[in-house]
Structure 1
Amino acid sequence: MDNRSAYGGLEGDPWLQQVVVFDWQPTEILAQNAESMQLIVATCWCVLMARVVTQKLCPRSSPNFCYGMEFLLIIPPVVLLVTVASDYCTHILLLMLICSLWFLVRTQALQRACARGQFDLGGTRPTVFTLVRALTHLITAVCILAIDFSSFYRPYRKSRTFGAKLMDTGIGLFVVTMGLVSHRTRHIKDLRRSVVYAALPLLLLGLARTVALLIVGYGQDEHEYGRDMNAFFTLGLTKLCGSLTSLVARRDVHLLPLGMGLLVAHQMALSVFGLSDFVMDEDVPRSTVFSANREGLVSLPGFVAMYLLSIYLSRWLMAATLLGYSDMVKKLRRLLLLVLILWSLFGASAFAIGISRVTCNFGYVVWTLAIICTIMWVGLFGLDFVINSVLPWDPSALAVDSQEKGQLLEVQAGEGSAPKAASDRIGSFAICQSLNLNGLTFFLLANLLTGGVNIFLKPEDRSQSESVLILLVYMFLATKAVHELLKRGVRLA
């Protein structure tokens, strides 16, 4: 099918006199999404399996032993699936499905869930949000280094114009996870806190990265965010503009029409006024600040809309976190219905307007929210409904003393709020807790290690076995560093 978009409304500039046509293949986009979701679901399943195994086999073991067990169950499968074992992802998913069904039957988990009197989803920081953020960090960290090796599965690479590949999910998932742990800006004090503790640090990191690349002479792909912008700038500007925009909403429920209105207006600008073609046309000169960074600047309204909708999603989903059995089933059904609606909109968008990370169009926002809601449904059902019914979360089983438990602090990411005592156990779910507590620190460390590998180890010259080994060591260093911070109750960023 031939799907086209052309300029309309920007004819005043001389280089816009000709009509530029960009095509996308809906069936190819659907196939790319299927591959991306296979990897994401497989990673999620590995995390759930690690949660069961560590609590079952080593409930009173040392935190280091539990970390080592989780590392072996989570990291090697992800590394292998993005490199040498990518062709076997479907087979592995089928095996995971069989194991999951066996677990349900063997443990009578559904019957036990029915007998529970109450489901505690985790209060202000639900476990399912920890799962979502951890998956985002893990997959992104593996891919940003793995892509430099020849063993990396090339169809996972970012799309230049339209596409739904694995690495296209990165910036979108970060924006959504940022929104999930944020609040609507109610007054100037909230705005100042958001700017100082979240937006400003990200903007400074973006500036530092741009300056560092200029100094070392290491180029970046202009088609991702532009000549000077990068992911940190996009996240910082999204937080800043999202906080300003949310001042308009008087209540959390107003975030839904506000976000949807902004998203529709953004899509109109892309489709009707030709901004999509302006961004994607390689013949457009990068002669001004706007044209040089058009990818990052034009996509910003879409990311702000995504951020607002994520805050609404968080408020809607966690309006009540102490639920009876019937209320829990009702929440699962409603979330499943939302998942089905989002995936239907994704399919329609794939045929009508395409899926574009570069412009953050309507289809990309819907796609990202569909992925997040799917993970959250799997988390609510798998963790809170099934696993916690079979293996209840028992803080008294911690292999640390009360003083260490008192040091485990958790704060709202980027909001500068007062620390809260973490109720989760440090043994099981250790990697996810570590990434939740120091996600930005982990991401920065992963970027530094990626730079070091590229400078000293020349990844393009490495064999498949060498690339896998390097990736495993790299992920061990990054995850172990934040795990040590978790053990000491230290939160850097």
Structure 2
Amino acid sequence: MGSRAAADLVLDPNPKIYHNQYGGNRTLEEAIAKYVPVYEWSWTETLFQSWESLLLILATFWCIFLARLVSHKLGLFDSPNRCYAVEFALIILPCILLVTVAVDYSCYVGLVMLLATLWFLQRSRFLERARSRQQFDLGKRPVALSVLRSVTHLLTAVCILAVDFESFHRPYRKSRQFGAKLMDIGIGLFVFTMGSVSRRTRNFTDLRRSVVYSALPLILLGLARTVAILVVGYGQDEHEYGQHLNAFFTLGFTKLLGALVSILARRDVHLLPLGFGLLLLHQFGLSILGISDYVMDDEVVRSNLFNANREGLVSLPGFVSLYLLSIYVNRWMVAITQLTYSQMVQKLQRLFSIALILWSLFGLSTYAIGISRVTCNFGYVMWMMAIGGSTLLISFGAIDFVINSVMPWDSSGLEVDEQEKGLLTEETAAKKRAKPIVPFTISQALNQNGLTFFLVANLLTGAVNIFLKPENRSSLESVVILLVYMFLATKLAHELLKRGIRLA
């Protein structure tokens, strides 16, 4: 399954040595071992990995919802600092524990969360209160999307440092070829959330804006990271994106190519067939033309720029497809922002149906072609869309339908929108001081300065690896270091939010 045919092996003058069209040679036994079993995957193990990853994501969402309820109950919405403290304790601390020392208790934690949720739904009479509402105001940028973006930033930031500690749960580490582990999710959800706050390119002005303000900075950051790694001598796994490419390059090129391709769509609805069409062509190349095996073959000599960076380059069509489909989901979400009760229920039902279809496609892909982040194949894109759709459904329902019905919070959205755009004037700054910028303080902070937060997290990760030697730290030391690391990164973003400053 997933292996290249024996016809790809070419007989060498030495009858005991064989080589393939991509370079490298080996004995017949080595060749058979290479081309038959290496690219196989266990679909049951992949499903379990996906469930394990999804459980942690849902636990993080649950902690965010809990922080919202606790802050409201304690009346902390007039104090961003106290809200931040509550959210740090209820969101970031559990997230760190669940990927390190408390990972063995994940199922029990999930059970407690489920029971607590059922108890809250039963006691709050949320359905009765939701029916009594005149309308549901989602806004042009739904809170559900903001929360999803913040969860992506938080989990990625925690994992990029935690993975260097012995206490980190090893099954969460990235897959080399096929798999659906926690750290495989990071780049995919970044692309999904990037698309969820983007629009299709309509003209040259839109294209120039996307390139100059979004794609180019990411590509320059990728270049800076590559240069810094070469200068410092910091190790990089070439099987992730290649010898020279990294996640910043992938995001930048995805934004650039996505902006170019989306010009072909005259309406938002055209993004759906455009994205799926590109994805099917990508999968055809991976499966039928043998490109997947070419990417994953360790014997392919990294003799030129393309071979050296084949992982990052070959995966781009898949990520562009994911980006286009994400834009479509976002445009559908915000098509109507003022909903009646029946319209709200209908939207939730449609989201549930979409999530069910996506998970079904993921399940079929798991069995037929596998899930590969390295090539961003059809299965991986369906996995990301399924996670994105499911978390939007849960966040959309929990925040807008349940929590805001039970514990409403009057927010005009003016301050948050202007903070995210970096357009605070003296007048709106005065309003900001008069009105709280909470709930979801940390989520707002990461949405306003997500790239700044991620850069700081990367710099701190490098500093910890150079000066603190994480591989030699005990479990307790690893938790303490991770807490300090996340406090420094999130507190910086929080202080920028309080001052209405948007850097990137």
TM-score (norm 2): 0.91
Q: Is the 8 A contact 1:161 1:358 kept in 2?
A: yes
Q: Is the 8 A contact 2:445 2:496 kept in 1?
A: yes
Residue 208 of structure 2, aligned match among 192, 207, 212? 192
The RMSD of aligned alpha carbons is 2.2
1:14 equivalent to 2:58? Answer no
Give the C-alpha shift of residue 14 in structure 1: 3.2
Counterparts of 2:2 and 2:267 in 1: how far apart (Å)?
39
Matched ranges for 1:264-283 at <5 A: 264-283=280-299
Give the C-alpha shift of residue 60 in structure 1: 4.4
Counterparts of 1:106 and 1:84 in 2: how far apart (Å)?
33
> Counterpart of 2:468 in structure 1: which amino acid?
L
2:499 is matched with 488
2:460 is matched with 449
Matched ranges for 1:427-442 at <5 A: 427-442=438-453
1:414 is matched with none
Counterparts of 2:418 and 2:386 in 1: how far apart (Å)?
32
Give the C-alpha shift of residue 58 in structure 1: 2.4
Counterparts of 1:210 and 1:4 in 2: how far apart (Å)?
32
2:128 is matched with 111
Residue 419 of structure 2, aligned match among 378, 384, 409? 409
1:40-90 per-position Cα deviation (integer Å, ceiling 9, x unaligned) = 000010001111111221244421111101111101100000000001111
Matched ranges for 1:229-248 at <5 A: 229-248=245-264
2:15 is matched with none
1:143 is matched with 159
Residue 144 of structure 2, aligned match among 113, 128, 149? 128
Which of the two has higher C-alpha Rg?
Answer: 2
Counterparts of 2:442 and 2:294 in 1: how far apart (Å)?
42
> Counterpart of 1:67 in structure 2: which amino acid?
Y
Counterparts of 2:49 and 2:416 in 1: how far apart (Å)?
45
Residue 170 of structure 2, aligned match among 154, 160, 181? 154
Give the C-alpha shift of residue 15 in structure 1: 3.5
1:5 is matched with 3
Counterparts of 1:31 and 1:406 in 2: how far apart (Å)?
39
1:159-182 per-position Cα deviation (integer Å, ceiling 9, x unaligned) = 000000000000000001000000
Secondary structure at the aligned position of 1:348 is classed as helix
Q: Is the 8 A contact 2:141 2:334 kept in 1?
A: no
Counterparts of 2:80 and 2:299 in 1: how far apart (Å)?
55
Give the C-alpha shift of residue 419 in structure 1: 7.5
> Counterpart of 2:294 in structure 1: which amino acid?
F
1:349 is matched with 365
Q: How many residues align?
A: 479
Secondary structure at the aligned position of 1:392 is classed as coil
> Counterpart of 1:145 in structure 2: which amino acid?
L
Q: Is the 8 A contact 1:349 1:362 kept in 2?
A: yes
Structure 1 residues 390 and 8: alpha-carbon distance in aligned structure 2, compared to 1, 3 A threshold: farther
> Counterpart of 2:206 in structure 1: which amino acid?
D
2:489 is matched with 478
> Counterpart of 1:190 in structure 2: which amino acid?
D
Q: Is the 8 A contact 1:120 1:323 kept in 2?
A: yes
Secondary structure at the aligned position of 1:303 is classed as helix
Counterparts of 2:406 and 2:495 in 1: how far apart (Å)?
29
Counterparts of 1:83 and 1:357 in 2: how far apart (Å)?
23
Unaligned runs of 5+ residues in structure 2 are: 11-19, 26-30
> Counterpart of 1:43 in structure 2: which amino acid?
T
Which region of structure 1 is more displaced relative to structure 2, 435-444 or 424-433? 424-433
> Counterpart of 2:137 in structure 1: which amino acid?
D
Aligned-pair identity in percent equals 62
Matched ranges for 1:160-199 at <5 A: 160-199=176-215
Give the C-alpha shift of residue 8 in structure 1: 9.9
> Counterpart of 2:99 in structure 1: which amino acid?
V
1:83-139 per-position Cα deviation (integer Å, ceiling 9, x unaligned) = 000011111011011111111111111111111110011x22110110110000000
Counterparts of 1:53 and 1:9 in 2: how far apart (Å)?
64
Matched ranges for 1:24-43 at <5 A: 24-43=41-60
> Counterpart of 1:241 in structure 2: which amino acid?
L
Counterparts of 1:306 and 1:324 in 2: how far apart (Å)?
31
Give the C-alpha shift of residue 290 in structure 1: 0.6
Secondary structure at the aligned position of 1:39 is classed as helix
Residue 460 of structure 1, aligned match among 471, 479, 502? 471
Residue 274 of structure 2, aligned match among 246, 258, 273? 258
Structure 1 residues 93 and 190: alpha-carbon distance in aligned structure 2, compared to 1, 3 A threshold: same
Counterparts of 1:246 and 1:10 in 2: how far apart (Å)?
37
1:83 equivalent to 2:94? Answer no
Moved over 6 A (4+): 8-13, 16-19, 417-424
Give the C-alpha shift of residue 4 in structure 1: 2.8
